[in-house]
């Protein structure tokens, strides 16, 4: 298979006119050539933090605090989840996964509530789709063993040392929320040597030093942080110190579109469009242990193809900026997963 257009090549997303050659699902060559195509070819996205289980609760709870919304066991989200049937929950998750796939997302790193049953429910939701979620179980070691790892709520109220160790022994991913509301749970989270930490809105200087020294990757969810009114992460500081990926967080709060997250972050923070696109692709892929997120030889061919001649994108002078700050689902020509 050959995909022609302006290819955003490599980690720098150098726009080159030419073609991507795909053989057996792998990129075998990226060739510069004169081609008659207005398409823009880029890596498919990695949504590095989702909770799609609350797809049944979209736009519920306007004005509630973060705790009242999502804190277990009686936050609004959990009450709505208890009230819904398994079938309703699976179907709602399936529609969110389909929406992510249609907006160019190859995988999401999902913090999956509900123990082993919750893990099985998202597997059922993803059945037959091309998007392939990385599922991190929650609550129990069995959920971790049944999934791709463990997603910890945070080191504030719960003791995760044993689960962290069990996850390491199983050779799986361990992620944890940290620094969302304040800085108090950051050191306890970093003490666990997680594979990544999510949010990091409130790091102090000592935390930033620890993050840099340990190299722990950080997943930012800037739209979620504004919806829940917890503040804005020090994006520039974090990008200067470690690997930063991007996630859309709870579906109840935000549409799981990486286009929207990228545009928002790029206009909010002092980071370049290329840095934001790296957060949305290769940085998340590396965090998840995936060999994609970059258009280069030897990578899995998970690609997003946009119509650079759509009414929205036509005439853009800088394709990377156009993708990050302007593009949306209507510009998608093809999602190759
Ligand atoms: Zn989360």
Using a cut of 0.85, tell me whether the model's pTM lies above it.
Answer: yes
pLDDT digits (tens, 9 = 90+) for 287-314: 999 999 999 999 999 999 999 999 999 9
Tell me the CA–centroid distance for residue 301 and ligand 1, in Å. 28
pLDDT digits (tens, 9 = 90+) for 256-267: 999 999 999 999
| pLDDT at position 31 | 97
Is the pLDDT at 39 greater than 80? The verdict is yes
* Angstrom distance (rounded) from CA 233 to CA 57: 26
53-82: average pLDDT = 87
Tell me the CA–centroid distance for residue 176 and ligand 1, in Å. 8
Cα–Cα nearest to 219, from 240, 244, 195, 237: 244
Tell me the CA–centroid distance for residue 280 and ligand 1, in Å. 17
256-281: average pLDDT = 98
Tell me the CA–centroid distance for residue 335 and ligand 1, in Å. 26
Tell me the CA–centroid distance for residue 20 and ligand 1, in Å. 35
* Angstrom distance (rounded) from CA 189 to CA 197: 8
| pLDDT at position 159 | 83
CA gyration radius for the chain? 19
Relative orientation angle of helices 115-126 and 86-102, to the nearest 10 degrees: 50
Which residues, including other chains, have CB under 8 Å from residue 206's CB and lie 6 or more apart? none
Give percent of the chain above pLDDT 70.
99
Tell me the CA–centroid distance for residue 224 and ligand 1, in Å. 9
Give percent of the chain above pLDDT 90.
90
Tell me the CA–centroid distance for residue 149 and ligand 1, in Å. 15
Q: Which residue has the higher pLDDT, 156 or 200?
A: 200
Peptide bond into 73 cis (omega under 30): yes
Tell me the CA–centroid distance for residue 326 and ligand 1, in Å. 26
How many other C-beta atoms lie within 10 A of the C-beta of residue 255?
16
Strand ranges across the sheet with 244-246:
244-246, 218-220, 196-199, 173-178, 149-152, 134-137, 105-112, 45-51, 249-250
Tell me the CA–centroid distance for residue 221 and ligand 1, in Å. 9
pLDDT digits (tens, 9 = 90+) for 211-229: 999 999 999 999 999 999 9
Backbone torsions φ then ψ of 40, nearest 5 degrees? -115, 125
Tell me the CA–centroid distance for residue 154 and ligand 1, in Å. 9
Tell me the CA–centroid distance for residue 92 and ligand 1, in Å. 18
Tell me the CA–centroid distance for residue 25 and ligand 1, in Å. 31
Tell me the CA–centroid distance for residue 151 and ligand 1, in Å. 9
How many other C-beta atoms lie within 10 A of the C-beta of residue 304?
28
Cα–Cα nearest to 284, from 13, 43, 12, 33: 43
Local structure of 254: helix, strand or coil: coil
| Triad 111, 219, 227: Cα angle to 5° | 80
Beta bridge partners, 306, equal 40, 332
Tell me the CA–centroid distance for residue 37 and ligand 1, in Å. 40
Tell me the CA–centroid distance for residue 199 and ligand 1, in Å. 8
Is the pLDDT at 69 greater than 90? The verdict is no
Helix (H) or strand (E) holding 144: helix 141-146
Tell me the CA–centroid distance for residue 247 and ligand 1, in Å. 9
Tell me the CA–centroid distance for residue 70 and ligand 1, in Å. 9
Tell me the CA–centroid distance for residue 249 and ligand 1, in Å. 5
Q: Which pLDDT band, with edges at 50, 70 and 90, does 87 fall under?
A: very high
| Residues 29, 295 contacting (CB under 8 angstroms) | no
Domains of the chain (ranges; CATH) run 2-43+292-336 (2.30.40.10), 45-287 (3.20.20.140)
Q: What does the mean pLDDT of the chain come to?
A: 96
Count how many residues are written for the chain: 337
Tell me the CA–centroid distance for residue 51 and ligand 1, in Å. 6
Tell me the CA–centroid distance for residue 233 and ligand 1, in Å. 15
Long-range (24+ apart) CB contacts under 8 A made by 57-61 are 57/81, 57/251, 57/252, 58/251, 58/252, 59/252, 60/252, 61/252
* Angstrom distance (rounded) from CA 9 to CA 2: 15
Cα–Cα nearest to 203, from 175, 229, 227, 235: 235
Tell me the CA–centroid distance for residue 111 and ligand 1, in Å. 7
Q: Which pLDDT band, with edges at 50, 70 and 90, does 323 fall under?
A: very high
Antiparallel, parallel or unpaired: β 39-43 and 303-307: antiparallel
Long-range (24+ apart) CB contacts under 8 A made by 136-140 are 136/109, 136/110, 136/111, 136/112, 136/173, 136/175, 137/112, 138/111, 138/112, 138/113, 138/114, 139/113, 139/114, 139/115, 140/115, 140/116
């Amino acid at each position: 298979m050959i995909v022609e257009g302006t290819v955003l090549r490599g980690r720098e997303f150098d726009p080159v006119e030419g073609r991507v050659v795909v053989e057996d699902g792998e990129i075998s060559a990226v060739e510069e050539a004169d081609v008659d195509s207005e398409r823009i070819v880029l890596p498919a996205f990695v949504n590095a933090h989702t909770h799609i289980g609350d797809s049944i609760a979209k736009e519920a709870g306007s004005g509630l605090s973060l705790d009242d919304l999502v804190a277990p066991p009686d936050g609004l989200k959990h009450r709505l989840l208890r009230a819904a049937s398994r079938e309703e929950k699976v179907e709602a998750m399936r529609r969110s996964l389909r929406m992510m796939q249609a907006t160019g997302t190859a995988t999401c790193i999902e913090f999956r509530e509900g123990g082993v049953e919750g893990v099985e429910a998202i597997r059922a939701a993803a059945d037959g789709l091309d998007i392939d979620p990385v599922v991190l179980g929650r609550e129990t070691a069995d959920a971790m063993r049944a999934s791709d790892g463990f997603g910890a709520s945070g080191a504030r109220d719960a003791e995760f040392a044993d689960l962290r160790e069990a996850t390491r022994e199983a050779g799986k991913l361990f992620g944890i929320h940290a620094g969302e509301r304040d800085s108090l749970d950051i050191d306890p989270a970093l003490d666990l040597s997680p594979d990544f930490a999510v949010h990091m809105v409130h790091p102090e200087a000592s935390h930033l030093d620890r993050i840099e020294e340990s190299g722990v990757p950080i997943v930012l969810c800037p739209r979620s942080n504004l919806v829940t009114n917890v503040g804005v992460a020090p994006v520039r500081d974090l990008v200067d110190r470690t690997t930063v990926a991007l996630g859309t967080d709870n579906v109840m709060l935000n549409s799981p579109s990486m286009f929207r997250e990228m545009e928002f972050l790029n206009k909010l923070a002092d980071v370049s469009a290329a840095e934001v696109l790296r957060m949305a692709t290769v940085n998340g892929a590396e965090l998840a242990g995936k060999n994609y997120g970059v258009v280069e030889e030897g990578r899995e061919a998970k690609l997003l193809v946009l119509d650079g001649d759509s009414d929205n994108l036509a005439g853009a002078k800088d394709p990377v900026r156009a993708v990050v700050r302007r593009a949306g689902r209507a510009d998608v020509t093809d999602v190759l997963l």
